[in-house]
Chains A and B, each alone.
Chain A
Amino acid sequence: MAHVLMPRLGVSVTEGTVSAWLKQVGDPVEVGEPICEVATDKVDTEIESTVAGVLTEQLYAVDEVVEVGAPLATVAAADEATAAPAPAAPEPTAPEPTPSIVPDPAGFGDSPDTGPYPEPPAPELGPRPEGADDQYAVVMPRLGVSVTEGTVSAWLKQVGDPVELGEPICEVATDKVDTEIESTVAGVLAEQRHAEGEVVLVGEPLALVTPDGALPSAAPAAPAPPASEPTAAPAAGAAPTAQPAPQRAAQPSATAGPTVPGRPAELRPAPFDHTAAVDRLLATVARAGRPVAAPSARRLAAELGVDLALVPGTGGGGHVTRADVQRAAEQPAAAPVVAATPSAAPAPAAPAAPVPETTGHPVGPDGLPIGYEDVPYDAVPTSRIRRVTAEHMTRSRRTAAHMTTEVDVDLGLLTDVRARLNAHRATQGRGKLSFLPFVARATCAALLEHPDLNATFETERLLRWGEINLGIAVDTPRGLMVPVLRGAERMTVETLGEGITDLAARLRDGKPGPDDFRAGTFTISNPGSVGAVSAPAIINQPQVAILGMPTIQRRPWVVRLADGQETIAIRPILRLALTFDHRALDGADATRCLVDIGRRLETWDVDDYR
């Protein structure tokens, strides 16, 4: 019996949604054979079986979310498949004594070392409540007051390796120190939660160490087969078999455990370790399952009418601080002000309708917007991409101070240049280039002169990125996607054009890789492709600006003739819109960059683009 696990489908992918099962219970599966389809916010992919045998259980239904590393399905080897999948209770007819009730008396005398208080039996992996994985997790410790994360530089233990308490399991590099992380749990390494090179936040689990190396949630929901017990049971003696916790490192200042007669009593905990206390405290932030805010921040949020659930926390472990609340309150159109819920007092009979954070409007008891109960409707489930986009867009609008600047660009000259270039390409059997790669090329050239727009804003600092990773917003049947052209500043118009075509093809086929979406530093959105005549956009965080490219319109335009006279001509005009984060830079900076892009588009000759 083995599990097919949800694989890590990209550096930043933590979960996926099962979109379809390709194999049903009872179906034979080969290694490498797809068993289901999973959608993440980055890619849709088929999950291949890592085990050969017969599918005995689908652990997630379609549309359920699976975390990376969790078992997706159970596959029994061909010979076990015939056995009943759920082990039966101990057979009542078994002639052997029931060792867990009647201990072998000799067991006491034989082991003077352990005395009358035998070691607790090895923990059993039985059904456990949700969240019990915590006890198996080796958590990224706080390696210094100001250290909030580290990078896994090397794994010293591999999955399946036995691990002792205090034994180094991996090396972690922070900006302060490089250090080995020691296990706080004894057992067998069941999972490396992060690959080498990945960044781990303080308080996040680095690894799971379980008594037998099995993933906790992979434990079958049935007791271990009784046949394997008899040898272990006498050693366990009469000790209670109920769920012993796995062995853990002594936690300073944790409550002392119960005392055992005849053993040295641990009445008082070890000296208080403030650093460990911070770790433990901040680790609870992520586990809280609700917005975690300092009491003072809660009071401020109540005073200012800010919904804490919508405030991004920048405090330790990601908790919401007073400053976070203040920021959220100061941002226009930011976190919805609870007190300002419009017309939230409907019929007097109805108590104030709650405004779920997910909908943004008051919802009645039947789950419909108040007042819409008699309107026919279809409920269409939203895709994962839709939900991710929704969250991403509102977060961006909430955190960034959006402002848009626009310029009109006369593409008359460029139209000729493009025609000549495409004609030349046609002779070589290569496809036509649209205007997009020209705009992208001019944008990259301008960004090199205006590096503050190819950046990330972090209040205390602006990160100017040393390469231009150009995101291209693409409308796909599955939703908006923004693949990234890495190192676009080194590309010519033609390589840009081919890169965009290539990415678009991969998107269309549903075969993009996770790295196709990573590390964008600037984005171009092209609503002109569907006819928009203006193109303000929402900034693609953590970037600070996005260029909107509407449709090119033929307009009556004042042009200067060779003799100095002016006349009105019909020109192809592109109204470029640069939306930028006014926190990071000012309107003049952004407009200078945009004018630069326009100037390059208006004046460059064909060789400038190659």
Chain B
Amino acid sequence: MSFKKSPFTFSLLCFGFAFLYIPIFLLMFYSFNYSKVVPVWGGFSVRWYVELFQSEEIWSAVGLSLQIAIMNATFATMLGALAGIAMARIKRFRGRTLFSGMISAPLVMPEVITGLSLLLLFITMAEIIGWPSRGITTITIAHITFSLAYVAVIVQSRLVGVDESLEEAALDLGAKPYRVLIDVTVPLLAPALAAGWLLAFTLSLDDLVIASFVSGPGANTLPMLIYSRVKLGLKPDVNALATIIILIVAIGVCVAGWILSRQEKQRMADMQMAEAEKYDFSDEPQSSR
């Protein structure tokens, strides 16, 4: 790293990253504290992890949260991909401004407003058509609604960077529009779709406010459970749970990032190879890799 030119910038960066990471590391550190009082060190121990694994309440919350997160990520990715494709590829249609507003607004909308408005909608719907009952369904619908906006933005910015001529060529060669979507656009979008799915998954796992608004009796997601415990003060078992969650997420993000960047490199190499083959008229057929 070449920071020699400005030690000033380097020290600013160090302070910045220390600020970002020290609280997380301290949180993890205290999860191995034997003492019941969090900031008082009582020796190394894994007792909070043991207690955590024996807690039925936590396991059922984890199960519910994962179930919602997976459903949410899958539906949000499909809907968000369609929205992103519409925004990037269809330049003009009626109500486009409203559409783009509805995609970018959920990204900044205060959670209390989204939560309140969705709950009032669900109650009104339940009164009129008798569906949905509050719980896992309503939380999932609420999560899909804000996650799809994130996916749409990722997909849209990816498509802007991809040449439209591939899709046009396929259409010219007689491919049906839906085959073009499945055979050309979706593979081009694969990294964006994977990133969008992961983001939607974690956004859902992380949401407290919207879930507390739209949830019904008995449906406690993991963040709701953590929140109710945190409200009672510092809890070492929450630290242990936090450590596990943070480690899983960190490893997941790093692995996903590594796979995606490798695929991207592979794709670039393939493209270059294809470019090279195009101008290569020698008799020997080139091996593709």
Are both chains from one complex?
no
